[in-house]
Amino acid sequence: MAKENYILVSHYCKHAHIDDSFVQNLFEYGIVSFEEKENDIFIDEKDISEIERMFRLHKDLGINFEGLDALKQMLKRMQKLEKEMNLLQKRLRLYE
């Protein structure tokens, strides 16, 4: 079983110069998930790149949280379709 690494949200936000409320809003919209332990909130290190991507979209392009949620859902669907397309292309090569 792989060991998961969690980062304290307050430490991450301080280091990355991101407001705690921004990460809290991402959690409320279901964009990232939290782990709560002993009254502290932790994020999985795998979510760091997603938080940074969403922060750049929010800050640079002014996309609100509803828009960020919609973008995440669209990207997730697009990745699923790409995987399906790759699988179908491999199957098609068998008949060529």
Asked if residues 24 and 36 have their Cβ atoms less than 8 Å apart, the reply is no
pLDDT for the residue numbered 17: 92
pTM of structure: 0.78
Q: Which CATH class is domain 6-94?
A: mainly alpha
pLDDT for the residue numbered 1: 36
- Going by C-beta distance under 8 Å and a sequence separation of 6 or more, which residues neighbour residue 26? 32, 51, 54, 65, 68
- Going by C-beta distance under 8 Å and a sequence separation of 6 or more, which residues neighbour residue 69? 29, 30, 31
Q: Please give the chain's pLDDT, 96 residues, in tens.
A: 345 688 899 999 999 999 989 999 999 998 898 888 888 889 988 889 999 999 999 999 999 999 999 999 999 999 999 999 999 999 999 887
pLDDT for the residue numbered 5: 85
